């Protein structure tokens, strides 16, 4: 609910930015009443809404709890489906026929998905592939390494923190670790 509230206020701030732009487009930077009236409303509202967004996000971050086992369970449930293309490529590299392997993966995937969706059972796609002779030469453990499917995400996060977040944290270090009470 708090994230939805922050999103709602973010939309408000984005729409508030359009109003001064429309004024600027017709008044050619001359000081007129339509400019000052607009500024008196839009600028304070944008800052108040942004302050509210930041308070909500601080409140969310303070209470953030990460459950590694839950994350691992979600990865275990979805990774076999995400890895199906890599499994197919590994099977072809091991000498299998692409069309045949594709059809087998499709059939096994649908059967595994049915077990998950209809009966609430764990994803057993990899267990099914292990029993299929067509995948006997495929090193499924290697293909199932979740780190193969994150691309540059880890490096992008590190770069963003180093280039964007760290300088801001350094500049405003005295304001860090403040407690907020939600009023929004």
State pLDDT tens for residues 17-53.
Answer: 888 888 878 777 676 776 777 888 899 999 999 999 9
pTM, two decimal places: 0.62
Quick one: which of 139, 128, 2, 106 has its CA closest to 61? Answer: 2
Domain range summary for the chain, segments of one domain joined by +? 2-65, 68-149
- Torsion angle (degrees, nearest 10) of CA 141, 146, 149, 150: -160
DSSP string, 74-97: HHHHHHHHHTHHHHHHHHHHTT--
Instruction: Identify whether the C-beta of residue 59 lies closer than 8 Å to the C-beta of residue 51.
Output: no
- Chain segment 93-147, per-residue pLDDT in tens: 999 999 999 999 999 999 999 999 999 999 999 999 999 999 999 999 999 999 9
In whole angstroms, what separates CA 28 from the centre of its chain? 41
Crossing angle (nearest 10°) for helices 33-62 and 2-27: 160
Architecture of domain 68-149: Orthogonal Bundle (1.10)
Asked if 79 and 144 count as a contact pair (C-beta separation under 8 A), the reply is yes
């Amino acid at each position: 609910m708090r994230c939805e509230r922050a999103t709602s206020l973010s939309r408000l701030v984005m729409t508030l930015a359009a109003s001064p732009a429309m004024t600027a487009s017709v008044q050619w930077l001359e000081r007129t009443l339509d400019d000052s009236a607009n500024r008196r409303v839009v600028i304070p509202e944008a800052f108040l809404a942004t302050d509210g967004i930041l308070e909500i996000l601080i409140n969310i971050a303070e209470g953030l709890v990460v459950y590694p086992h839950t994350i691992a369970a979600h990865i275990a449930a979805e990774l076999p489906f995400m890895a199906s293309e890599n499994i197919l490529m590994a099977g072809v590299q091991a000498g299998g026929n692409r069309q045949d392997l594709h059809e087998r993966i499709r059939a096994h995937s649908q059967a595994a998905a049915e077990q998950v969706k209809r009966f609430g059972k764990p994803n057993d796609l990899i267990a099914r592939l292990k029993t299929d002779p067509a995948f006997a030469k495929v090193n499924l453990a290697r293909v199932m390494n979740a780190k193969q499917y994150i691309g540059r995400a880890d490096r992008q996060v590190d770069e963003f923190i180093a280039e964007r977040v760290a300088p801001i944290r350094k500049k405003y270090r005295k304001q860090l670790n403040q407690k907020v009470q939600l009023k929004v």
